Chain A
Amino acid sequence: MDMYQENIIDHGQHPHNWGLLEDFDMHAHDDNPLCGDQLEITIKLDVNERVVAVGWQGEGCTISQASASMLGDELLGKTLDEIKALSKDDILELLGIPISMTRIKCALLSLKVVKAAAYGLGEDE
């Protein structure tokens, strides 16, 4: 089962950066209503607009949760502009597993939420 490699299941079961930050600069929430995956993320920046802390919570399939866990690690130290420049391919590379067409939405929910936070779109949720 190529998709369910050990590190993916580890991230799914023991997600990094778990739990929302009390002190944050960016925030967003989104879900895939069709499959029930949902993610909420908080991000703290320093004076140079670099990410110093990420906190998130959510529920859903292993792919969506592992993707959020791995992306959270990746965000640390990045600037706001670097976050805005993140692409779909960056996430797929991060996951490092073949993602089928039907699971692409699960894999990319984290990116969608992070982008919403970076562009300040998360507060209207």
Chain B
Amino acid sequence: MTLDIQAVRQDFPILHQEVHPGKPLVFLDSAASSQKPRQVIDALEYYYTHSHANVHRGLHVLSEAATDAYEKARDKVQKFINAAHREEIIYTRNTTESMNLIVQSWGRANLSQGDVVILSVMEHHANLVPWQMLAAEKGFTIRYVPLCDDKTLNMDALKAFLREGNVKAVSLTHVSNVMGTVNPLKEIAALAHEAGAITIGDGAQAVPHMKVDVQDLDVDLYAFSGHKMCGPTGIGILYGKQAILDAMPPFMGGGDMISRVTLNGSTWNELPYKFEAGTPAIAEAVGIGAAVDYLSGLGMENIHAHGQELVEYAHDRLAEIPGLTLYNPDAPYRSGVATFTLPEAHAHDIAQILDSEGIAVRAGHHCAMPLHKEHFHIPATTRASFYLYNTTEEVDKLVDGIYKVKKLFNR
């Protein structure tokens, strides 16, 4: 079965608008945040219209309804990524908060001088800055895996770092948000475990696009966001193996995360509530559940196949443009994005001119400054990112738009 893209597009009301007179929206910025289908918007509206109250402990109908919806969404997420237990799904605000939770809880409890954490040069700031902050305090060492010329992770360098010893954690993006590089996380987890290290995956760009099975990957901790996978903003997920989460101290203190509080101290609630202090994003959790239903209904295999087809088409078409440089690896090691520069125009100029044609792309360093400045030695790139509602006709419009940029700067 393949996706009926025109039917899918009908599910996304926001797509059907002109952003400038005569210029229908061509939304190629889903890697930053995806659009929302009617099914998710309706789930939020239904929740607020019929079911809202605070979750847990409320002894009334609405609180039970809210708790039920909140917890059912957790079950959906568990099934979606094939986690072994529902307690292994922690609601957070987004991938960034999940990463900070990992670093502040697991990292603070387990890392000290002499220890090594392995990251890579392709990481998003969310998987760089929290580690750097803690390293400045604790004195552990961060090693960055470089890239190969083909823009894939240098596995030999990773293996060499692991052989040097003292590695406690390997924390890597599953899919690069700039290049779309898909890292072999399963193989990496096996290597890390052999070396006695845990594996942490940043799944923000992976979960929306492909079937992710955390048990098959055998990662120890894994983070992703709802808003990049058709869900609302304000809801993210931290997956962790139960034994690891159990051993981790709480991240934030407050209501919901305790089992008993006295004036002399407190004891912690069980998983997953130990990590969910305060009133959570209930409607947003319901929303991510609706997003999971939506994506599962279409089939992640079909969504992945459509994404691969679009990326391949985009790369072929963009490669025809004289002078254009692409920053993506070859198939099959890429997903979701086409990232490029032009010799005659700065990334911001390109994005601005494309916007005047109704085409939404992103320009800048995409929260991966080290990759741009210290690896590619460029200030910025322009990134077109694709999702299940994009079409090859939209890629053609992108290409036409780029030729308009070239014309404007070469007159």
A interface residues, Cβ below 8 angstroms from B: 1, 3-4, 6, 9, 13, 33-37, 59-63, 100, 103, 106
Q: A34-B364, A35-B364, A36-B379 are in contact. Are A61 and B348 (CB under 8 A)?
A: yes
Q: Which residues of chain A come closer than 8 Å to B411, judged between CB atoms?
A: 6, 9
Q: 8 Å CB contacts to A: which residues of B395-409?
A: 408-409
Q: Which residues of chain A come closer than 8 Å to B174, judged between CB atoms?
A: none
* Cα distance A4–B356 in the bound complex, in angstroms: 11
B352 at the interface (CB under 8 A from A): yes
- Contact at B356–A1, with CB atoms within 8 Å? yes
Interface centre among B352, B363, B365, B409 (most CB of A within 10 A): B352
* Cα distance A26–B409 in the bound complex, in angstroms: 33
Q: A60-B379, A63-B349 are in contact. Are A4 and B364 (CB under 8 A)?
A: no
- Contact at B365–A4, with CB atoms within 8 Å? no
* Cα distance A1–B348 in the bound complex, in angstroms: 14
Q: Which residues of chain A come closer than 8 Å to B348, judged between CB atoms?
A: 35, 60-61, 63, 103, 106
Q: Smallest Cβ distance from A38 to chain B, in angstroms?
A: 8
Q: Smallest Cβ distance from B176 to chain A, in angstroms?
A: 19
- Contact at A1–B380, with CB atoms within 8 Å? no
* Cα distance A100–B379 in the bound complex, in angstroms: 21
- Contact at A4–B353, with CB atoms within 8 Å? yes
Q: Smallest Cβ distance from B373 to chain A, in angstroms?
A: 8
- Contact at B365–A61, with CB atoms within 8 Å? no
B345 at the interface (CB under 8 A from A): yes
Q: Which residues of chain A come closer than 8 Å to B346, judged between CB atoms?
A: 60-62
Q: Smallest Cβ distance from B358 to chain A, in angstroms?
A: 12
- Contact at B365–A1, with CB atoms within 8 Å? no
Interface centre among B356, B364, B379, B380 (most CB of A within 10 A): B379
- Contact at A35–B379, with CB atoms within 8 Å? yes
- Contact at B345–A62, with CB atoms within 8 Å? yes
Q: Which residues of chain A come closer than 8 Å to B365, judged between CB atoms?
A: 34, 36
* Cα distance A60–B347 in the bound complex, in angstroms: 9
Q: A1-B356, A34-B364 are in contact. Are A9 and B379 (CB under 8 A)?
A: no
Interface string of B353-389 (1 = CB under 8 A from A): 1001000000111000100110000011000000000
- Contact at A13–B353, with CB atoms within 8 Å? no
- Contact at B352–A103, with CB atoms within 8 Å? yes
User: Which of A9, A36, A100 makes the CB contact (< 8 A) with B408?
Assistant: A9
Pairs of residues from A and B, 7 with the lowest C-beta to C-beta distance, nearest first: A36-B379, A61-B346, A61-B348, A1-B356, A62-B349, A36-B380, A61-B349
Q: Smallest Cβ distance from A14 to chain B, in angstroms?
A: 12
Q: Which residues of chain B come closer than 8 Å to A106, judged between CB atoms?
A: 348
* Cα distance A37–B349 in the bound complex, in angstroms: 12
Q: 8 Å CB contacts to A: which residues of B259-279?
A: none
Q: Smallest Cβ distance from B380 to chain A, in angstroms?
A: 5
Q: Which residues of chain B come closer than 8 Å to A61, judged between CB atoms?
A: 346-349
Give 18 A-B pairs besides A4-B408, A59-B379 with Cβ atoms closer than 8 angstroms: A1-B353, A1-B408, A9-B408, A33-B369, A35-B348, A35-B364, A36-B364, A36-B373, A36-B379, A36-B380, A60-B348, A61-B347, A61-B348, A61-B349, A62-B345, A62-B346, A63-B349, A103-B348
